[in-house]
Structures are given as structure tokens and as C-alpha cells.
Amino acid sequence: MTITAPSPRATERIAAAMTVLMCRPTHFTVTYRINPWMDPDAPTDTDRAVAQWEQLRETYRGLGFAVREIAPIEGLPDMVFAANGGLVIDDVAYTASFHFPQRQPEGPAYGAWFEAAGLKVNRAQCVNEGEGDFLPIGDVILAGHGFRTDRASHREAARIFGREVVALELVRPEYYHLDTALTILDRRPGREHVAYLPGAFSEASLSELRLRFPDAIEVSEEDAAVFGLNAVSDGLHVITAAAATGFHAQLREHGYTPIGVDLTELLLGGGGVKCCTLELRSAVDQRSAVDQTGATGKES
């Protein structure tokens, strides 16, 4: 793990409390191919994947995150990618309904965990892959489509959460989920800030991003290719791929503290930091974020 301090000239940032759900990669391997990163003929090391995942979990704990865990299920090697298991806002959960049959049993497994945790559970009627393609920011939800998530689920999410859902079309198969091509850096209403890879989006969606987030960080192809954008931010600390050093420099210039972790074994399955992390957003956390800014829900 590497931690580097932000530039002293950079804007002040505030770390928010976070609660996350993770799943130990006990059964991680690559036995099928459902994204360009996966190669069933290439060897994988489950023990190494577990060790890297544990480093990520301990990084979160060191930052004061509350980390909860769902039990892994044999035969579901991609269950480690907890972000895909659903979307949780204000203690309301919207379950995933996976595109590929290999992952479809994960939806009910995560749904059962949400229910046991006391969340209000809305079971998906439309194909969606949770926070892989749904990223809340301010008072809207950015929503990817093009490879995994059906656009009909955008309407379903808008109804469940009562928020505007902004559709963003992904056009490159190696960035098949929104969270591989865009990361939320500051989610506070009125201070929304993101980073993204311009080449991952259609021209119309890129125009939408530039209109909504004129001060966004546009990340290089090199940093995106090591899953630098598959990151988690508490508003100050950005946990991201150790190899995304150019992105680290950009983050420091914008007042963030980048924390690099090595998840290269899990990248063999097409996953990184964010893929391993489902945020459990509570109503209390959301009110606290507004209180910190004094904002009233202004969109960028």
C-alpha cells in the first residue's frame, strides 16, 4: 500500500464516514469469459487474491470505514465483486439482476443479505448490475448502459429512489461497467466531483459529463487500463490501483490523498477496488454529508 500527500495548494477536502460490504474471494478463479479481462486458460492464484483483498479491507478499516462481510458461496467465483450485488441509498436496497447466467445466483444471495441487515429491499424486475452501473452523486444517480445493465432499470431505479437517473452509454467492451470508467470523488450536493475516461463513452454521454462536471479529472488511457478509475473515495482519501500513478498525481493536484493498493490478481477477473466494494449508504450518512457543506441539493 502506498499513500502520498496532496499538494499544499490544492482545495481542502473532507472525509465522510462510510460503511461498505465486501465478500472474501475464497472461491475466486477464472473458469469462464464474460469480459475482455478474463482468460480461462491463464492461471489464477486464489491465495494471492485473498491476500490482496485482505489488504484492501485493512486499508478501509485503517481509514475508519465500517466493513461488513457477506459469506462467499462456492461456485460463484465473481461474488467477490460486491459492488455488482445491488444499490443501497438511505437504507433502501435495489437488488441486482445479472446479465450473464454465470452470475445470476449472486442477485438473490445479496438480496437475502440486505433483508437480513434490515434494509428495505426492492427486488429488480429489470437487468442491472448494481453499483457496477449505478453511481449516486449529489441528488442524482449516474447510470451506465451498453453492455450489462438494461436502460429499463434506469426507470426502475428512478422510481425506487425518487432521484433523477442520468444515462451514460459505454462504448468499449473493456470498460463494460460504469465503475470501470468513472469514479465519484466528492458526492456532496453542490460540490460534486468525478474522474472519468473520455474514450469509454459515446459522444452524447461525454458531452453530458462535460456539461455536468466541468472541473472533472479526465484520466489517461494508461491509468484507466490498470483500473485506476475503479476506485473508492470518502471525499478525501481515494483508494485506487497502485499502478495508476498518473491518476495519483492528478488527485493530489485536486486536494485528494491517493492510496494505492495492489489488486492485480482480481483484475484477472475484471475487477478492482470499487468492484470489491458495495457502499451501504444510510439516511444518517446522507444528512451528515449535506450538513458538512451547508448545501441544499444543488446539481452540478
Q: Residue 193 catalytic? A: no
Give every CB contact of residue 35 below 8 A, 6+ residues apart in sequence. Answer: 173, 174, 176, 270
Contact 299, 138 (CB under 8 A): yes
Strand-pair partners of 232: 239
The catalytic residue among 237, 254, 275, 276 is 275
Query: What are the cell numbers at 90?
Result: 438511505
Q: Residue 23 catalytic? A: no
The catalytic residue among 23, 145, 154, 177 is 177
Query: How far apart, in whole angstroms, are the C-alpha atoms of residue 169 and residue 124?
Result: 21
Query: What angle is formed at CA 235 by the lines to CA 82 and CA 24, rounded to 5 degrees?
Result: 20
Catalytic residues: 177, 275
